[in-house]
């Protein structure tokens, strides 16, 4: 699913927090949105998800303006799980979409195996660690094969092994199912590892957007060079 933002602005109490003239996010790829705190990254993601509405401008999804809510899912840094088992959390989107028991079981098993959750399938959600919760939330998000997956800092504050598991499944499902993934990350190394496309935001504006290799190897803007050199942008 290709996403295009045109003349997109978001203003709160008279202050413009996002001002994007035009940005095209390629379909079927993994795009990382990076930038300092307060750059407008979460605002951008919320507008694409339809959680918030723009003050001005439009967002299109494969050239359509209607938000395809049944094809979009979003994951947060602090996800909320249902007060039930891992199995039922992963399978909930399938249940409400009318998947058969057999189809759902096959999908749940695959996701649990991929994310090393097979031993936790009958475990209640409140007994899970932070990393396990994040894995279950991702499995639930991927369960119904969304066309667009939006992730806001999904690997913040979790251990490196869990980060590796999450990155691996994101790359695999993107490759196998063509899911468009847009991920906010403060981790530049992660952006290098998993991204096909990278967007740098600062003060609500797009500083630079490019395919991953040229973005990091030969950035066009001095501001980008400073940021990826881990200098502070003011």
Could you give the domains of the chain?
3-78+147-228 (3.40.50.300)
Residue 54 token pair: 């723009």
Of residues 146, 145, 164, 173, the one with CA closest to residue 154: 164
| pLDDT confidence bin for 137, thresholds 50/70/90 | very high
From CA 75, how far away is CA 50, in angstroms rounded? 14
pLDDT digits (tens, 9 = 90+) for 200-214: 999 999 999 999 999
On the question of pLDDT at 233 being above 60, the answer is no
pLDDT (0 to 100) of residue 158: 83
Tally Cβ neighbours within 10 Å of residue 53.
9
159 contacts 180 by C-beta, under 8 angstroms: no
From CA 192, how far away is CA 211, in angstroms rounded? 10
From CA 2, how far away is CA 30, in angstroms rounded? 11
pLDDT (0 to 100) of residue 33: 97
Q: Tell me the percentage of the chain whose pLDDT exceeds 70.
A: 98
How confident is the model over 11-17, as a mean pLDDT? 91
pLDDT digits (tens, 9 = 90+) for 145-180: 999 999 998 888 788 888 898 899 999 999 999 999
On the question of pLDDT at 232 being above 70, the answer is no
- Please provide the average confidence, as pLDDT, over all residues in the chain: 92
pLDDT (0 to 100) of residue 234: 46
pTM of the model: 0.91
pLDDT (0 to 100) of residue 14: 86
Three-class SS of residue 135?
Answer: helix
Helices 86-96 and 101-114 meet at what angle, rounded to 10?
130
pLDDT digits (tens, 9 = 90+) for 83-103: 999 999 999 999 999 999 999
pLDDT (0 to 100) of residue 125: 92
**Helix ranges restricted to H, 14-159:** 41-49, 86-96, 101-114, 130-142
pLDDT (0 to 100) of residue 76: 84
Residue 69 token pair: 């809510």
Q: What share of the chain is helix, strand, coil (3-state, %, to 5)?
A: 40, 25, 35
pLDDT (0 to 100) of residue 25: 96
pLDDT digits (tens, 9 = 90+) for 44-81: 999 999 999 999 999 999 989 988 988 999 988 888 89
183 contacts 78 by C-beta, under 8 angstroms: no
From CA 104, how far away is CA 12, in angstroms rounded? 42
How confident is the model over 7-18, as a mean pLDDT? 93
pLDDT (0 to 100) of residue 219: 94
pLDDT (0 to 100) of residue 78: 83
End-to-end Cα spacing for the chain: 34
Q: Name the pairing type of β-strands 197-202 and 205-211.
A: antiparallel
| pLDDT confidence bin for 231, thresholds 50/70/90 | low
Which uninterrupted H or E stretch holds 174? Answer: helix 160-177
Q: Tell me the percentage of the chain whose pLDDT exceeds 90.
A: 77
From CA 145, how far away is CA 104, in angstroms rounded? 12
Three-class SS of residue 149?
Answer: strand
Which uninterrupted H or E stretch holds 173? Answer: helix 160-177
114 contacts 129 by C-beta, under 8 angstroms: no
């Amino acid at each position: 699913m290709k996403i295009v933002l045109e003349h997109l602005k978001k203003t709160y109490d008279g202050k413009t927090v996002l001002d994007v003239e035009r940005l095209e996010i390629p379909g079927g790829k993994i795009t990382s949105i990076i930038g300092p705190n307060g750059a407008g990254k979460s605002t951008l993601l919320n507008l694409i998800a339809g959680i918030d509405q723009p003050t001005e401008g439009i967002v299109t999804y494969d050239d359509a303006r209607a938000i395809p809510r049944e094809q979009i899912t979003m994951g947060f840094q602090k996800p909320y799980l249902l007060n039930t088992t891992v199995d039922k959390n992963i399978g909930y989107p399938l249940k409400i979409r009318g998947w058969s028991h057999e189809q759902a079981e096959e999908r749940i098993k695959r996701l649990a195996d991929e994310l090393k959750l097979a031993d936790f399938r009958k475990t209640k959600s409140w007994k899970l660690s932070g990393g396990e919760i994040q894995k279950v939330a991702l499995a639930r998000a991927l369960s119904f094969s969304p066309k667009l997956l939006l992730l806001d800092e999904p690997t913040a504050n979790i251990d490196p092994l869990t980060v590796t598991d999450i990155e691996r499944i994101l790359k695999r499902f993107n490759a196998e199912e063509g899911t468009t993934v847009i991920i906010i990350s403060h981790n530049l190394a992660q952006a290098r590892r998993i991204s096909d496309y990278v967007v740098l935001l600062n003060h609500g504006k797009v500083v630079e957007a490019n395919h991953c290799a040229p973005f990091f190897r030969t950035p066009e803007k001095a501001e980008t060079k400073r940021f990826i050199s881990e200098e502070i942008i003011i």
